[in-house]
Amino acid sequence: MSTNEVQRAPSAQATAPLPATGSMYDWIGGEPALRKLVDRFYEIMDGEDFAATIRGMHQADLAPMRASLFEYLSGWLGGPPLYVVKHGSPCISRAHAPFAIDRAASDAWMRCMNQAMLDTGVPEQYRELLSPAFERMATMLINRP
């Protein structure tokens, strides 16, 4: 796979019925699983050549961003609204506006997230739902041709 290709989840329907109760946050394993996912995402971003551009958009210490992404995703996935409680309603477009985000950067972010979901054992039926949602988010942040 070239560095510009994105590892994408299949677009097929979920392979098993979704639980009748709870949220995606619960279904993927709650706080421990989300922390694992975020940590793995940043490990990939920090260590892979294909992610150098997006890594360069971050400070040397990734701890604050790990915390921020965890808090944001917690509420976004239907868990505790940690980010909103701490910072108010998020406007991720505004927060990312200072950074030159093009399709390659968006694709690199998606590749990190898809690999993190695989590496941390997010079940396929949830990856099939999450990947397109993450893709919409990453695409929304593109602000350069």
Contact 111, 9 (CB under 8 A): no
Please state whether the predicted TM-score (pTM) of the whole model is above 0.75.
yes
Under the banding of pLDDT at 50, 70 and 90, the label for residue 104 is very high
* Cβ count near 106 (within 10 Å): 20
Lowest mean pLDDT among 5-14, 68-77, 109-118: 5-14
pLDDT at 15: 63
pLDDT at 16: 77
Under the banding of pLDDT at 50, 70 and 90, the label for residue 20 is confident
pLDDT at 138: 97
pLDDT at 12: 44
Contact 83, 90 (CB under 8 A): yes
Locate tokens 């602000």: which residue? 143
